[in-house]
Structure 1
Amino acid sequence: MRSFRGTSKDYFTASHSVGPVLLLLSVFGTTMTAFAMVGSTGKSFEQGIGVYTLMASSSGIVHSLVFFLVGIKLWAIGKRHGFVTQVQFFRDRFESGALGTLLFPILVLLVIPYVVTGFIGAGTFVQGATRGMFPVAFATSVPATNGAIPPWLTVLIVCFVVLFYIFQGGVRGAVWANAFQTILFLIAGVAALWMIARSLGGLDAASAAVLAKRPELLARQGKIGHGEFLSYMLVPLSVGMFPHLFQNWLTAKSAKSFRVVLIFHPIFILVVWMPCVLIGVWAAGQGLQAASPNAVLGMMMTKYVSDPIVRGLVQAGTIAAIMSMDSQIMALGTMFTEDVVVPLAGKGKLSDRAQVMWSRVFILAIMALAFWLALYPPPNVFDLGVWCFSGFAGLFPLVVAAIYWKRVTTAGAFASVLAMLIVWSVLFYRGLIQPALEGKKPEEPLVLGLMPVAWVVLAAGVALVGVSLATRPPSEATLKKYFA
């Protein structure tokens, strides 16, 4: 895969030139952000080893299934009809520009918090990892953060680095960066587990400390109820509607490129998640006092990885994972250009250079907004990530119906999207916004024992099917175009 070719097609889809290994590394890298590295460690610190079965084990299966049933289909459709974004596909599939207008802000709304989790994860990780290193430059009255690099500075540096390579290479630059970052954090995760375990006296000794002090954290389900556990399995469906994954899928050279992804993606999830979850549980067993669950991973590395060079390499690998949210940012720039600017200007009216310029302008605006939001972090990036994924999962019935169900209608699509938006917004306010306004710590926002994602997906699915069956079917021309 050669360097950036200067065209908008190459900037947004890498000219469909990505082979199987690079596709695997880029797809995996863009799904394993701060949510996986920092979030899973913090969540297992609080709730135990059940966090692994909660998300990682189900994700390994569900992700590959979605890649097979949805990803390959969307790649073929996108390449055949020249689509660059999801909105373009849905506008054409449902013969409705208004549907695309509705979807665009919703997708942006869901992606921005996902980007923010990456920034928060980077800031809190580096803060925990550098505690006490700069007592003069970054002195604070809080022992857990005294002498540590402040989160805002880390986030600012990450912003500049990410902007540099996506401005220079677009999707192609993001793909190569994600590939390198994936290799680095796969090695870093295993190395961190081995070195921390050795410092704690080995795997058995580290687990024995947890068993003695916090035995409930070693239960398979941890502190998680059955309904919550089962409904969590719907969260990984979100990958079917990630804008950045849609864009990554379109970079594939051929359908055969997906084979390696289907086989190795679940294995890579195991390699990344297991060390992070174990480190979080061990931290609880050692009685670690963390200012925030988000800082647990960085603090464990600083405390139990003694060699400064090795510690630096492991920390670099963790930062690499956190920075892989570049694809999300690139996807937002692509969507703004293709779904807002080009339709307003008129097809064929903008030069390649102008399209790339508008994408960069929107990316700058999104980065500035995400930076500002990251200055006011929630208690746990894992929970914020789950909320984002729950919204995307609520759109999963729409994409499945668009690909496989001839009878789905435009009205049904509208009803599904609106049902998802209303239910998700109400539950999000109750679960995260309201407790913050009242000065309370957010708890697991269960409704009748189930996670919000269950009700979001149910509402979207019922609205889609019910309204579609009650309204006029799509035109024969559209059916022939997509099902012939």
Structure 2
Amino acid sequence: MTPLIIIVCYLGLLLALGIISSRSFRGTSKDYFVASHSIGPFLLLMSVFGTTMTAFALVGSTGKAFERGIGVYGLMASISGLVHAAVFFLIGIRLWVYGKKYGFVTQIQFFRARFDSQRIGYVLFPILAMLVVPYLLIGIIGAGKTVLPVTAGAFPDLFPNAATPQWAGGIPVWLTGLVICGVVMTYVFLGGSRGAAWANTFQTIVFMVMGLVAFVFIANSLGGLTNASKVAIQINDQGEVVQPYRWDTANNQLVVNDPPKVVGRIIEGESDTAGSYSPRPLLSRQVTTVELENVNKKTGEVKTFTREYGMSTWMFLTYLFIPLSVGMFPHLFQHWLTAKSARAFKLTVFAHPLCILIVWVPCVLIGIWATGILPPLDPTKVSGVLGQMVARLVSSPILSGFLIAGILAAIMSSLDSQFLCLGTMFTNDIVIHKLGSGKLSDRQVILIARGFVVGIVTLTYLLSLVAPQNVFDLAVWCFSGFGALFPLVFAAVFWKRVTKAGAYACISAATLSWFYFFAKSGFGSELILGPGIMPVAVCFLISTAALIIVSLMTRPPSEETIKKFFPDKAS
């Protein structure tokens, strides 16, 4: 019960923060949507970093490292650190300038003005909303997957959890999701973008500190960093996948399996120079396909499934297109507009890669170590790896509660921004645009935005009950859609010759190609093309080609538009 009490207290603290931030609310729609452009460097860094880290970074990266190994850090963290900083510098600052100069509150307002097209907003809004919703889902699902194992046994009569008997009595995923949605909706409802920025800053600090504490504590429980690296599954000379250690729950200590426990066998793989398979596949990028076995301790039923450790060169290279998605995140655009000045971006550009390092390294390593502690888990259950590791290795209920609160902080620090951005887009890009500026009072505008936030929170929660449960893979599909649209914003900022028709072609090509691959994946599972190519790379190239070809074949934008967005070069 102690961890649950700490989690409840943390959520209560967030609600209090929302109430306090609402007292600074100036009562205007501009303050509700972009905090009156008053956010300084530190708050901007924390809010931008917090909104990009979500359950994908903590829960998802741990689960994916459990599946594929150390290469997950290279796939997302190291590349993201560089790409995100470049996008913030090259695109974020320019969009802030346009927003400040022309009064843009949303991403769609910029595109409408840049391409001199009102209809493009009605095309973009449902597409952007469709891509944001999976981003919301991974936060809600990730929260539930994390809390369930830590609270196991708290309410055995109330929540028997027949589907997951090992966590009987734990708070079910659906209830955690409901509570998280309620808390986030409340402080966004009250404080708007200022409340979200304050909450993001607080929660980002919490999850970064708690993440490091969890890493140190788990590493020490496994005998230190050197010994922890030996805990992960290995492959012996007979091609068997074995666990050399196990966690003795009764005595809370790591013990040697003698002989090592066999949990699977190799199906195929790449030989190293010595002519044998890599004995530590999770610490290598070599591709090794194995068949794993998971035995139900109660029924004795054996479930087998295949898993591919490592990653191909093509997969590693084509993942580069996924971090480009930040350039099209509508919630990130809104955070950029809250900045007090262009100088506020400086700290974000330089510190963001370091923050990614601090968060991702511990999560990836914990995921690798977990392969030697936990039984093999199928893809639908890997999102619970981090919560299970905390539940097993952290014996102190108080510390366990604080660590889970840190994980929830990471999840909620992005949910608030996404809920707010959808409310902002609907109000400004659909309602006000349709009725006309000045037809509604600020009070009515804020009321509409808040009403839509309540609606989208409700819809997202209901979808979370039936959505795929692999946080990392669902997030990758979300990022792939935004990444496929990146040529649109890049061309809008840097290419004078891009046309309205080219923009429509880019949007159509990106959306149709993304949906084709998404459906082919079974709507949310991992999909690899050919030798290891990520679908986002194909979608990106198709949308880029459509944008360039159609733009060159159609009439250039008007001189007025060019002078508006490229004043120095046009003068």
**Alignment deviations for residues 152-174 of structure 1 (CA, whole Å, 9 cap, x no partner):** 11111111111111111100000
User: Is the CA contact (8 Å cut-off) linking 1:211 and 1:218 kept in structure 2?
Assistant: no
Q: 1:12 aligns with which of 33, 42, 53?
A: 33
Among candidates 205, 216, 228, match of residue 183 of structure 1:
205
Q: How does 1:33-52 map to 2 (within 5 A)?
A: 33-52=54-73
Counterparts of 1:93-104 in structure 2 under 5 Å? Answer: 93-104=114-125
Question: 1:140 offset after TM fit, Å?
Answer: 2.7
- Counterparts of 1:131-210 in structure 2 under 5 Å? 131-141=152-162, 142-210=164-232
User: Partner of 2:521 in structure 1?
Assistant: 431
Q: Which has the higher strand share?
A: 2
Task: Classify the secondary structure of the residue corresponding to 1:232.
Answer: helix
The equivalent residue for 1:219 is 284
User: For structure 1, which runs of at least 5 residues remain unmatched after alignment?
Assistant: 437-441
| Counterpart Cα distance in 2 of 1:269 and 1:248 | 18
TM-score, normalised to structure 1, is: 0.96
Structure 1 equivalent of residue 6 of structure 2: none
Deviations 1:250-302 (A, max 9, x none): 00000100010011100000111111111111110223455711111111001
Give, as a single letter, the amino acid of the residue that structure 1 aligns with 2:541.
L
Residue 484 (structure 2) aligned to one of 368, 378, 394: 394
Contact 1:53 1:220 in 2 (8 A): no
In the other structure, the counterpart of 1:382 is 472
Residues 327-372 of structure 1: CA deviation (Å, up to 9, x unaligned)? 0110000000000010121111011011111111111111111101
Match of 2:546 in 1: 463
Separation (CA, whole Å) in 2 of partners of 1:430 and 1:104: 24
Percent of aligned pairs with the same amino acid: 56
Give the C-alpha shift of residue 432 in structure 1: 2.8
Contact 1:128 1:297 in 2 (8 A): no
- Deviation for aligned residue 1:134: 2.5
**Which residue of 473, 476, 483 corresponds with 2:559?**
476
Please point out which of 348, 356, 370 is paired with 1:269: 356
Larger radius of gyration: 2
Of 74-83 and 374-383, more deviation after overlay is shown by 374-383
Match of 1:24 among 42, 45, 59: 45
Contact 1:43 1:380 in 2 (8 A): no
| CA RMSD in angstroms, aligned pairs only | 1.5
Query: Which AA in structure 2 matches 1:15?
Result: S
Partner Cα distance (1:44, 1:379) in 2: 16
Q: Structure 2 stretches of 5 or more lacking a match? A: 1-20, 235-241, 244-279, 287-308
CA distance in 1, matches of 2:374, 2:190: 45
**CA shift for structure 1 position 447:** 4.6
2:96 to 50, 75, 92: 75
After the TM superposition, which residues 351-370 of structure 1 pair with which residues of structure 2 at under 5 Å, given as runs? 351-370=441-460
Q: For residue 343 of structure 2, what is the aligned residue in structure 1?
A: 256
- TM-score, normalised with respect to structure 2: 0.82
Check the 8 A contact 2:488/2:506 in 1, yes or no. Answer: yes
Q: Aligned-pair distance for 1:220?
A: 4.2
CA contact (8 A) 1:128 1:296 kept: no
Deviation of residue 3 (structure 1)?
Answer: 1.5
The whole-number CA distance in structure 1 between the counterparts of 2:67 and 2:155 is: 29
Higher helix proportion, which one?
Answer: 1
Q: Distance in 2 between matches of 1:53 and 1:332?
A: 31
In 2, distance between residues paired with 1:443 and 1:36?
A: 17
- Between the two proteins, the alignment pairs up a number of residues equal to 477
Deviations 1:222-241 (CA, angstroms, capped at 9, x unpaired): 52111111100110000000
- 1:129 positional shift: 2.0
- Shift of the alpha carbon at 1:132? 2.8
Q: Which amino acid aligns with 1:112?
A: V
**Letter matched to residue 242 of structure 1:** F
Corresponding residue number in structure 1 for 2:316: 229
> Deviations for 1:109-150, whole angstroms, at most 9, x for unmatched residues?
000110011000011111122223322221133333312110
Is 1:128 matched with 2:125?
no
Is contact 1:71-1:240 (8 Å) kept?
yes
Task: State the Cα deviation string for residues 293-338 of structure 1 (Å, max 9, x = none).
Answer: 1111111001101111111111111110011121011000000000
